[in-house]
Amino acid sequence: MIRFEHVTKRYADGTTAVDDLSFEVAEGELVTLVGPSGCGKTTTMKMVNRLIEPTSGRIRVDGEDIAGVDPVELRRRIGYVIQQVGLFPHKTVLENTATVPHLLGWQRKRARDRAAELLDLVGLDPSVYGDRYPDQLSGGQRQRVGVARALAADPPVLLMDEPFGAVDPVVRERLQSEFLRLQSQVRKTVLFVTHDIEEAVRLGDRIAVYGHGKIEQFDAPAVVLGAPATPYVADFVGADRGLKRLSVTPIEAGDLEQPPVVHLDDRLSDARARLTADDARWAVVLDDADRLHGWVSADAIASGTGTTRVRERARRMDAWLPLGASLKQAFSTMLQHDAGWIAVLDGDSADHFLGVLTPARLHEALRRSIEADARGATRSEARVETVPSA
């Protein structure tokens, strides 16, 4: 969808910002460009919408050489989100969002309806925020408007240059999650510039790690973290890359432990028998529809008459995650609830209990993922990632 063929950019003062760059972003793929300041990420991105012209080489968007496309027309097909957002201060949020549809000559009502739909999609209620002006919004809300505006004309390609760089870390993480959810719905082809490896890993289907004007490694996040291609990449992703892998490794069914399970209406004597049979200190408690209720300890059911039910001794457990959530979410949920385990539920309906993740199983899952990628990295060496010479 976006294809760089031997692209070089040399500025007038002789600085080579981008040096013989060849790579491709597939349709619907999100590629993050990550690297230290001044390594050529922004230059790369701005060549795609012709804010900067390459010195040599060719860039194709959807097969078409963009050197032959009128830049204004090109930019209407390419959404662009930058850190400073660049909202028009004298226009309302709704008018800002409708900018490109308006330029494309859409009817006023159609443009405004579309803008309202997009604001909704990025989590801003148009009836609350639509008539506000940009200076009446928080930084995070302005970024959301920036994203809505870039998507308003439904461009197939989105360029994002440090879009979440100016907000605090908590808001930033929330914007990243929202953007991932949005991208899973709209499936744009996205080039995303960041200098933050965590952000690159979290958002990218693939990551291009930049050295000076060149890509040092172009791979899936787990491969970059698990098998850095060069010492430079290893250094850039950092010594704590094992930790970073937590955010790209999903919980799988095979990672789960199966503690004894009892139901709210079970008699204590039956529950005791289950725990004794499994030699367990606690059991998971489900309701009669097999939804997670919580847990009960062996001590709590050690005494009680024949008619007492588990319901009277059970404790609620709110720490749960859907299958497929990341190990990082699992770890932070454990810390947040001060829990030695978390329940994992069916991803679709989120009400079917599948098992529990414990710190020991979390560690095993991390090892599994590292070993799998060490094998995957060997395979990817054979994959052609660059465009062959003409």
Ligand X SMILES: Nc1ncnc2c1ncn2[C@@H]1O[C@H](COP(=O)(O)OP(=O)(O)OP(=O)(O)O)[C@@H](O)[C@H]1O
Per-position b or e across 28-38, b if 16+ CB within 10 A of its CB: ebbbbbbbeee
54 binds ligand X (CB under 6 A): no
Could you say which residues in the range 107-126 bind ligand X, by CB under 6 A?
Answer: none
Smallest distance, Å, CB 190 to ligand X?
17
43 binds ligand X (CB under 6 A): yes
Q: Which of the stretches 9-17, 134-142, 222-230, 254-262 binds ligand X when contact is defined by CB under 6 A?
A: 9-17
| Complex with ligand X: residue 12 or 277, whichever CB lies closer | 12
Smallest distance, Å, CB 49 to ligand X?
14
Separation between Cα atoms, residue 122 and residue 351, nearest integer Å: 27
Could you say which residues in the range 169-228 bind ligand X, by CB under 6 A?
Answer: 195
Sign of CA dihedral 231, 236, 239, 244: negative
Q: Which of the stretches 13-21, 241-249, 323-331, 381-389 binds ligand X when contact is defined by CB under 6 A?
A: 13-21
| Complex with ligand X: residue 15 or 177, whichever CB lies closer | 15
Smallest distance, Å, CB 189 to ligand X?
20
92 binds ligand X (CB under 6 A): no
Beta strands in 44-147 (DSSP E): 56-61, 64-65, 78-82
Separation between Cα atoms, residue 295 and residue 167, nearest integer Å: 39
Structure-token pair, residue 206:
């693939």
| Complex with ligand X: residue 45 or 227, whichever CB lies closer | 45
17 binds ligand X (CB under 6 A): yes
Token look-up 């414990």 returns 358
96 binds ligand X (CB under 6 A): no
Smallest distance, Å, CB 177 to ligand X?
23
Q: Which of the stretches 34-42, 78-86, 230-238, 278-286 binds ligand X when contact is defined by CB under 6 A?
A: 34-42
What is the DSSP code string of 159-218? Answer: EEESTTTTS-HHHHHHHHHHHHHHHHHH--EEEEEES-HHHHHHH-SEEEEE-SSSEEEE
Smallest distance, Å, CB 167 to ligand X?
17
Selected from 2, 21, 40, 271, the binder of ligand X by CB under 6 A is 40
Separation between Cα atoms, residue 336 and residue 330, nearest integer Å: 10
Q: Which of the stretches 40-48, 236-244, 250-258, 349-357 binds ligand X when contact is defined by CB under 6 A?
A: 40-48
42 binds ligand X (CB under 6 A): yes
Q: Which of the stretches 37-45, 276-284, 292-300, 313-321 binds ligand X when contact is defined by CB under 6 A?
A: 37-45
- Rounded to 5°, the CA angle 312-316-321 comes to 150
88 binds ligand X (CB under 6 A): no
Selected from 1, 21, 31, 39, the binder of ligand X by CB under 6 A is 39
Please answer whether residues 143 and 164 qualify as being in contact, where contact means their C-beta atoms are separated by less than 8 angstroms.
yes
Q: Which of the stretches 41-49, 142-150, 169-177, 293-301 binds ligand X when contact is defined by CB under 6 A?
A: 41-49
11 binds ligand X (CB under 6 A): yes
**Residue 64's CB: how many other CB atoms inside 10 A?**
11
13 binds ligand X (CB under 6 A): yes
Widest CA span of the chain, in angstroms? 88
Q: Which of the stretches 38-46, 140-148, 152-160, 321-329 binds ligand X when contact is defined by CB under 6 A?
A: 38-46
Percentages helix, strand, coil for the chain (3-state, rounded to 5) are 40, 25, 35
Backbone angles phi, psi at 382, to 5 degrees: -85, -10
Sign of CA dihedral 143, 148, 149, 151: positive
Separation between Cα atoms, residue 333 and residue 348, nearest integer Å: 20
Selected from 2, 4, 41, 373, the binder of ligand X by CB under 6 A is 41
| Complex with ligand X: residue 14 or 306, whichever CB lies closer | 14
| Complex with ligand X: residue 13 or 240, whichever CB lies closer | 13
Selected from 20, 24, 29, 38, the binder of ligand X by CB under 6 A is 38
| Complex with ligand X: residue 37 or 185, whichever CB lies closer | 37
Cα 194 to Cα 37, 139, 252: the distances in Å are: 10, 18, 29
What is the DSSP code string of 306-366? Answer: TT-BGGGT-EE---EEETT-BHHHHHHHHHHTT-S-EEEE-TTTS-SEEEEE-HHHHHHHH
Q: How many residues does the chain have?
A: 390
Note the residues at the interface with ligand X (CB under 6 A).
11, 13, 15, 17, 35, 37-43, 195
